[in-house]
């Protein structure tokens, strides 16, 4: 199965609207999700594990929507959701250690940011 096949399948399965950014009311330059609209914006489809992981991560935000979660928790659970889907498709082993580290570092940066702002009750890095 090609990565684009997986991408197209999950877009249909999870009812995701893909937007090139024209439908956005913001100026974000990165891939992002609009939870209520079930929309992923500024994602570039390519036949790669990176493109697939990125899409699944953004869909993970939509599927794990909980406004009470802190940003680091939202990022963590969206990543876990994406990893679970990659495992289901049998392509988790295609994700490079570098890619995994990028997501882990992003989660840790969000955690550190919350702690710097005197946030209480944050989860540990473990």
Percentage of residues of the chain with pLDDT beyond 70? 94
**pLDDT number for residue 111:** 87
The tokens describing 30, both together, are 């990165």
Task: Mark the ranges of the chain whose per-residue pLDDT is less than 70.
Answer: 23, 25-28
Q: What is the pTM of this model?
A: 0.89
**pLDDT number for residue 22:** 76
* DSSP per residue, 14-56: TTPEEE-STT-SS---S-EEETTTTEEES----SSHHHHHHHH
The Cα-based distances of 33 to 18, 50, 54, 103, 112 in angstroms read 9, 17, 11, 16, 23
**pLDDT number for residue 88:** 97
Q: What is the pLDDT of residues 37-66, one digit of tens each?
A: 999 999 999 999 999 999 999 999 999 988
């Amino acid at each position: 199965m090609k990565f684009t096949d997986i991408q197209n399948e999950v877009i249909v399965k999870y009812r995701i609207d893909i937007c090139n950014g024209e439908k956005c009311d913001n100026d974000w330059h990165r891939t992002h999700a609009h939870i209520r609209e079930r929309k992923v914006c500024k994602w570039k489809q390519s036949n790669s594990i990176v493109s697939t992981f990125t899409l699944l991560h953004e869909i993970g935000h939509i599927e794990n929507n909980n406004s009470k979660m802190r940003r680091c928790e939202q990022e963590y659970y969206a990543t876990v959701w994406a990893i679970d889907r990659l495992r289901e498709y049998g392509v988790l082993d295609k994700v490079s250690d570098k890619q995994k580290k990028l997501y882990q570092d992003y989660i840790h940066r969000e955690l550190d940011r919350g702690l710097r702002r005197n946030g209480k009750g944050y989860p540990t890095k473990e």
